[in-house]
Amino acid sequence: MALREINFDGIIGPSHNYAGLSFGNLASTRNAGQVSQPRAAALQGLDKMRANLALGLVQGVFVPLSRPNRDWLASLGTTYEECEQPLAAAAMSASAMWAANAATVSPAPDTRDGRTHLTVANLRTMPHRSHEWPGTLAQLRVAFGNDRHFAVHDPVPPAFGDEGAANHMRIASNHGEPGLELFVYGVTGGAFPARQHLQASKAIARLHGLDPERALFVEQSEAAIAAGAFHNDVVAVANENVLFAHELAFADRSQVVAFCEERLSGFELVEVPAAEVPIGDAIASYLFNAQLVTPPDGEMTLVVPSEARETPTVWSWIERHIAGNGPIRRVEVVDVRQSMANGGGPACLRLRVVADPETVDPRFIVDDAKLDRLSEVVRQNWPVEIDNADLQTPALVSDVERARSALLEELDLTELS
């Protein structure tokens, strides 16, 4: 098999709004009640995918889930038309766009049976996300339905919170060799909840058949969570043999470094000191919620949001350390402001899967021509604006449902209706 990194981005859904539902996510809270721009948001996301294609990367998509989630409301004994506003906002949430929370992925070289394993995240901590997993699981089982190459698992039981790849990193010399898998869990975050549970991470490692000697369970630092790093990917990201992290990312930094250095020849830590970039600046700019990728030309590239360029401490660090003598040779800036305003940067929008693209359902793989068609669907069907006061209006509900149907028809994925 020709293993490649495939970045599956969530297409930002037509119900994208700012309800401020994610406690501990500072951007989400700060922008609660603002008027959102779903059409601009989705086009920004599609443009980010074009930028990935321009780098020579393989690009995939996940489609928005059905919104409002009428089945979830029915299980609560109500309907979208009759429910109170907090439930309506949760049922209309477009948060599945952040595909990093869709699942945890272990590539075939790491697993006992030589298949790529995916465990859908239960997202139990936040009500508006807790009802995503059935729709996400259905999508994963279509995209990765080739059971010779993939195993797709049900979620970890909800007693233990699991938020997917946003709290998981793989470090490896190359795609075809066994890697090290780092599972980052939380214990406490001051006033904010720790969303990833240790037992959920351990369960996933067992389900995926990982070598216990090559899996490490790492506690996220309380300081990071308290500062707004609700997921590990807000303070650390890995690619190939490189771990790019803030000094305050982990409760025990030395444990992480020793584990990687002992087991992986050529391991490199690129650490950003708190004295140069305060953790608040790192989180506000989403410096680490970047895509760290290696294009075919071999120049490891950091794909950052435009907010990173607008944060003086962050951009100063980038100018001094990227494209110098270190392993990260290039920086690319993308505009995902609509997603950022809800607390999701470039890395939040994608699930990284190492696999042979030929084994994936081709309807989920895109090229420039397909992105052109999807952009046209968005321009014709996505709402221009959503005011939270209008979330339960029949006209908006009709527009949101019609827009998703048009997208599924364009991708020939109407079985996900």
Question: Which tokens hold the place of 26?
Answer: 């500072």
Contact status, residue 78 vs residue 87, Cβ threshold 8 Å:
yes
DSSP-derived letter for residue 84 is: -
Give me the pLDDT at residue 33, please. Answer: 78
Active site residues: 163, 231, 348
Question: Which among 316, 263, 326 has a CA at the least distance from the CA of 292?
Answer: 326
Distance, CA of 369 to CA of 389 (rounded, Å) = 37
Contacts of residue 258, defined as CB under 8 A and 6 or more positions apart, other chains included, come to none
pLDDT in tens, 281-300: 999 999 999 999 999 999 99
The helix/strand/coil state of 140 is helix
Contacts of residue 254, defined as CB under 8 A and 6 or more positions apart, other chains included, come to none
24 conformational bin, left if phi > 0, alpha if psi -120 to 50, beta if neither: left
- The beta strands (E) that lie in 273-402 are given as 291-293, 301-305, 330-334, 350-355, 365-366
Question: Which among 114, 101, 105, 4 has a CA at the least distance from the CA of 62?
Answer: 101
Question: Which among 261, 229, 259 has a CA at the least distance from the CA of 245?
Answer: 229
The helix/strand/coil state of 192 is strand
Number of structural domains the chain divides into: 1
Phi, psi of 232 (to 5 degrees): -60, -30
Residue 321, judged by CB atoms within 10 A of its CB (0-12, 13-18, 19+), counts as middle
Question: Which among 344, 383, 401, 301 has a CA at the least distance from the CA of 99?
Answer: 344
Phi, psi of 122 (to 5 degrees): -85, -25
Mean pLDDT for 38-55 is 98
Asked if omega into 305 is within 30° of 0 (cis), the reply is: no
Give me the pLDDT at residue 71, please. Answer: 97
Contacts of residue 284, defined as CB under 8 A and 6 or more positions apart, other chains included, come to 26, 27, 228, 307, 311
Distance, CA of 206 to CA of 374 (rounded, Å) = 38
pLDDT in tens, 335-363: 999 998 888 899 999 999 999 999 999 99
- Domain extent at residue 288: 4-416
The angle formed by the CA atoms of residues 332, 333 and 336, to the nearest 5 degrees, is 135
Query: The domain spanning residue 334 has which CATH number?
Result: 3.75.10.20
Distance, CA of 322 to CA of 375 (rounded, Å) = 32
pLDDT in tens, 213-270: 999 999 999 999 999 988 999 999 999 999 999 999 999 999 999 999 999 999 999 9
Which residues does residue 331 pair with via DSSP β-bridges, in sequence order? Answer: 302
Mean pLDDT for 314-340 is 93
Contact status, residue 137 vs residue 178, Cβ threshold 8 Å:
no
Contact status, residue 250 vs residue 275, Cβ threshold 8 Å:
no
Give me the pLDDT at residue 27, please. Answer: 64
DSSP H/E element including 8: strand 4-10
Contact status, residue 201 vs residue 185, Cβ threshold 8 Å:
yes
pLDDT in tens, 70-108: 999 999 999 999 999 999 999 999 999 999 999 999 999
Contact status, residue 94 vs residue 111, Cβ threshold 8 Å:
no
For the entire predicted model, the pTM comes to 0.96
Give me the pLDDT at residue 1, please. Answer: 65
